[in-house]
A and B are shown apart, each in its own frame.
Chain A
Amino acid sequence: MGNNLINYTLHLADNSLILGQRNSEWCGHGPILEQDIAITNISLDLIGQARSFYQYASQLINQHSPSSGVGWGEASEDSLAYLRTEREFKNCLLVEQPNGDWAQTILRQFLFSSYQYYLYQYLQSNPDTSIVAIAEKSLKEVSYHLRWSSEWVIRLGDGTEESHKRMKQGVDELWRYTGELFTPATYEKELGIDVASLKNEWSQKVKTVFDEASLGIPSNIFMHAGGKTGTHTENLGFILADLQYMQRAYPGCEW
């Protein structure tokens, strides 16, 4: 139970941290100022969620298995974010995919926010009160992410010939990473977290938005998996190289 809950909390934290880090790459490069601010606000929300989950995970680690504090003695939100290797990260593959163009970034956000929206609702009835509290608080923010990304998918999908083409390329690129969201890892199964049960609502939401955006849903596509248990695409190593550089070069540095 202890290890499963630790792994699951890390999975939730890693999802948010890695997508937050990816989105932050847009800071100063957004297509217009307001949207640059929007995507970086979403980054901030996601990194805030990650902090709450890491704080909780470090508490659990220090209670259950103090030896796994990853290098800094006791585990802390910082040691968990900065000192684990890619095989220890449990985020799903979708969030580590490159930003690509604006269409691909928006689509990644939409596919993930819609998943997170139903997941955090579902987690409201989890027996673990800390998970419930973090999910409840984060859900308010995720509602904004979902609304914003849905509007953009529609705007670009149903926009010009060029924007439609870009959106479609995004779907072709990212759809293969959505299957993993609804395939439980061992720690989810052990905790009774039935992610497969979220697929219906999620598919409905995606279909509604894709219909309005005149985008089709790909069928019979091979679905990649592995991120939840530490087998990542080559992208994660590069993200961590950026994210963890300071702590690797100057261990324990503060500013």
Chain B
Amino acid sequence: MKTSVIDKKALYAYLEEIKDPEIPVLSIIDMGIVRDVKMNDDELEVIITSTYTGCPAMDMIAANISIELKTLGFKKIKITQSISPPWTTEWMSEEGKKKLQQYGIAPPDKRFTIPKDGVECPLCHSANTRLVSEFGSTACKALYQCNECKEPFDYFKCH
């Protein structure tokens, strides 16, 4: 197959099936991890970017992309990791933010670029919440507790 034209839209639809292993409701497209897809002669190149430098999910995501694309019939696949421009939560889709909230994780909110009390509780929607720690269960999250419903919850930090 020698073509430099690929149906990007269809390809993105397939990549949409690959989820973030730490947050299985979000696809790598929702997360803004996929930066570009290119066809170089007979090699398909997928350019991805890591969220945090030490995020252990990245190697697994790269492996999952390879597997997904191989089952689609692509023989030569190259996954390139790009670090510039650095990933930002600005690249997360609105759809992704909604899914996060439904999953029980408060989505990134510009009013809380520096985490502080008051992030909306994803469960009871109260703003009467408190920051427990700027570091949470994964590098991208901070830990909160709701003062109303008492549930602890994660907040996906602005980055």
Contacts and interface: CB of A to CB of B under 8 A. Distances in A.
Interface of A: 34-35, 37-38, 41-42, 44-49, 51-52, 129, 132-134, 136-138, 140-141, 144, 147-148
Chain A interface helix/strand/loop/mixed: helix
A144 B131 CA distance: 14
Given A42-B135, A44-B52, A48-B55, 14 more contacts: A38-B135, A44-B56, A45-B54, A46-B54, A48-B50, A51-B54, A132-B84, A133-B83, A133-B84, A134-B53, A134-B83, A137-B87, A141-B139, A147-B134
B133 A52 contact: no
A45 B134 contact: no
B86 interface: yes
A49 B50 CA distance: 12
B52 A141 contact: yes
A38 B83 contact: no
B137 interface: yes
A34 B52 CA distance: 20
**Which size class do B's interface residues fall under?**
20 to 34
B48 to A, nearest CB: 14
A51 B139 contact: no
Interface string B72-109: 00000000000111110000000000000000000000
Interface of B: 50, 52-56, 83-87, 114, 132-137, 139, 143, 159
Contacts, number: 65
A132 B84 CA distance: 9
Most buried by A among B54, B87, B134: B54
Nearest to B141: A41
Contact of B53 (A34, A38, A49, A147): A49
A37 B114 contact: no
Given A132-B84, A137-B83, A147-B114, A37 B136 contact: yes
Ordered nearest first, which 5 A-B pairs have the shortest CB separation?
A48-B54, A48-B53, A133-B84, A38-B135, A44-B54
Nearest to B82: A133
A57 B139 CA distance: 25
B134 A144 contact: yes
A162 B134 CA distance: 26
A48 B83 contact: no
24 contacts: A34-B132, A34-B133, A34-B135, A34-B143, A37-B133, A37-B135, A38-B133, A44-B139, A45-B52, A45-B53, A45-B54, A45-B139, A48-B52, A48-B53, A49-B54, A51-B54, A52-B83, A136-B86, A137-B83, A138-B53, A141-B53, A147-B134, A148-B134, A148-B135
